[in-house]
Structure formats: C-alpha cells, structure tokens
Amino acid sequence: MSAKHLPTDVVVALDVGGTGMKCGLVRADGTVLHTERHPTDAGRGPDAVVETILAVAEGLAGKARADGIDPVAVGIAVPGVIDEARGIAVWSANLGFRDVPLRGLARERLGLPTALGHDVRAGGLAEARLGAGRDGGHVLFVAIGTGIAAAHVVDGTAATGAHGAAGEIGHIQVRPGGPRCGCGRPGCLEAVSSAAAIGRRYSALAGVPATAAEVADRAAAGEPLAADVWREAVEALADGLATGQSLYDVQTVVLGGGLARAGTLLFDPLRAALHERLTFHREPRLVAAALGDEAGCLGAALLALDSLEK
C-alpha cells in the first residue's frame, strides 16, 4: 500500500452479500477504524438494494468527515459476475442485479473515486495481502459455504478473467452423474462439497436435518453415515483442489467460509487426499483463512486503495 496517503485518509468499504452488508472505514495500512453491518433485504428488488448501498456508503463517508478523517475512495464488493474494469455488476442471483453500473452510481452520489469488485476475489485479495496467504506470492483462496468460489491472487492482484467470472472452481465437474448443481450441471464441486451440499446429502440419507458442522462432529464421533458423507465431500474437494493446483501452481491454498471452521476435521483428511492426488506438482500449503467474515470488506478497501494508484 502506498505511503502517499496521509494517516488521516480512509476508504469507505462495503462487502454486499445476499443477506447482509459488512461495511467499514479502513486506513491505507489496513487498520479498520469503524465497522457497520446492515441487512441487504434483497427481496425488495435491485433498485432498493442499490439505494441502500449508496446510502450506507454516503453515511460512512459522512461519519469519517464528522470524525475529522478524509474519505478518499470507495470500494464495493458484490457477489456474481462482476466486470471490474467497467465497474458493472453484470449478474448477481443473490442481489437480483443485471448490468448495474454500480461504480458510476457510487462515484456520482459520493463524488469519490470508486472501485467495484467481486466478493470472493476481494476476500482472496485481503487474505493474500493481509491474512493467511501473506507469505506467498501465488495464493488460491477458496471460500466454501453455500457454494464454492475461489480467487487466484498473484503478487497482490486477483485475476478477474476476461468476462469477470474467474475463480468459479465450484463448477469444476468432479462427479459426472452426481447431484445436480444450482448451475444446472450434475456433479459440480459445489454440489458435493459445499457446506450446503454436505448438510443436504446427510439429511437425505439420515432422514433428519443436519448442518455440515454437525455432520463433521458426528463423523468425528464415529457415526458411519456421517463419516461416509464427510469423506465423500473431502475427496471431491481434494479432486477440485488438485485441478486447481494443476491450473494455478500456487504456494498457498487458503480455505475460508463456513466449512473451514471444521478445522482439523477438514484439514487433516483433505491434506492427505490432496497429497495422494498430486503427482509431479508441488504441494501447496493448505491453511485456514485468518480474517474471518471481514475479508470481503478489507478486500473492498484494498480495491479502493489500488484504484487510487492507477
């Protein structure tokens, strides 16, 4: 990060999810001065969500000024397909967005330079520069929750892809003929190994509802059905990560999202399964994310700061 910003400069950062927004004021050195959370309430429709995003950003800039701090830029991270170069949220199922020129709208409303980014790529950027991947130049951040998405960060920049859709590792087909994915194809990684998929699979077989965390606990306690479901998910995840390593050859794979909280129940068997699958490739360091659910907001702040350098 640049030294040319004054210590009193901050950026306004928003990580907009389907249910909530994590927002804050972040200094150029990554220090978080203030955080806020707001409901997204996506059911109100895209126009209302955009208005809330702009109002929250405006409120944060106003708070900074009231505290004698100068807001110098805005960073907004949203899920979906994001054209970062043009500042357009091309498509977001969670937010109902289709071709929303969010960067221009924020710039107009707040009068500040604005960066628009993808939520998982922003989270990956933060983990790679400030969190668990900060020792490695090439980092793959994989967020495993309701779905599975990734960010490939090289020397502090997350690759966006030609169409704003890089990192969709959750849609690598690991089990042809397997459970149907939300994208329509059977056997995608996220249809087998996401936290949601693990809960669904166990619930269907056991006839009782359970979360992925409960499946992990039951597997650890020796319940055979839970152990089977967990092992299948871990093996599919290892297949996906092995493909990722073939493509990206990273030093560090950072796992985030809800599933990574399973700790050694996940990491021990996953490391072993990944080791089995890699032949000539160098094995990446496999570590848990360090920044928790603030990663996306910190990443949005980094995008805002980076945009000032250009």
Residue 61: how many CA atoms within 13 Å on its side-chain side? 19
Min dist. Cβ of residue 185 to Zn ion (A): 5
Q: Which residues contact 276 (CB under 8 A, 6 or more apart)?
A: 238
Among 188, 241, 265, 273, binds Zn ion (CB under 5 A): 188
Min dist. Cβ of residue 117 to Zn ion (A): 22
Single-letter amino acid, residue 240: G
For helices 102-110 and 46-66, give the axis angle rounded to 10 degrees. 40
Q: Assess 158 for contact with Zn ion (CB under 5 A).
A: no
Q: Assess 147 for contact with Zn ion (CB under 5 A).
A: no
Min dist. Cβ of residue 183 to Zn ion (A): 3
Find the binding residues for Zn ion in span 162-181 (CB under 5 A).
171, 181
Taking the least distance from each CB to Zn ion, the nearer of 122 and 188 is 188
Taking the least distance from each CB to Zn ion, the nearer of 235 and 294 is 235
| Binding footprint of Zn ion, residue count (CB under 5 A) | 5
Taking the least distance from each CB to Zn ion, the nearer of 195 and 265 is 195
Min dist. Cβ of residue 100 to Zn ion (A): 23
Q: What DSSP character marks residue 183?
A: T
Min dist. Cβ of residue 190 to Zn ion (A): 6
Give the separation between CA 214 and CA 182, rounded to whole angstroms: 23
Taking the least distance from each CB to Zn ion, the nearer of 192 and 262 is 192
Taking the least distance from each CB to Zn ion, the nearer of 133 and 178 is 178
Chain position carrying tokens 């890699």: 278
Q: List 285's β-bridge partners, or say none.
A: 252
Q: Which residue pairs from 32-41 have beta carbons closer than 8 angstroms and sit at least 24 positions apart in sequence?
A: 32/294, 32/297, 32/298, 33/69, 34/60, 34/63, 34/64, 35/294, 35/297, 36/60, 40/16, 40/95
Among 85, 183, 204, 272, binds Zn ion (CB under 5 A): 183
Site residues (vs Zn ion, CB under 5 A): 171, 181, 183, 185, 188
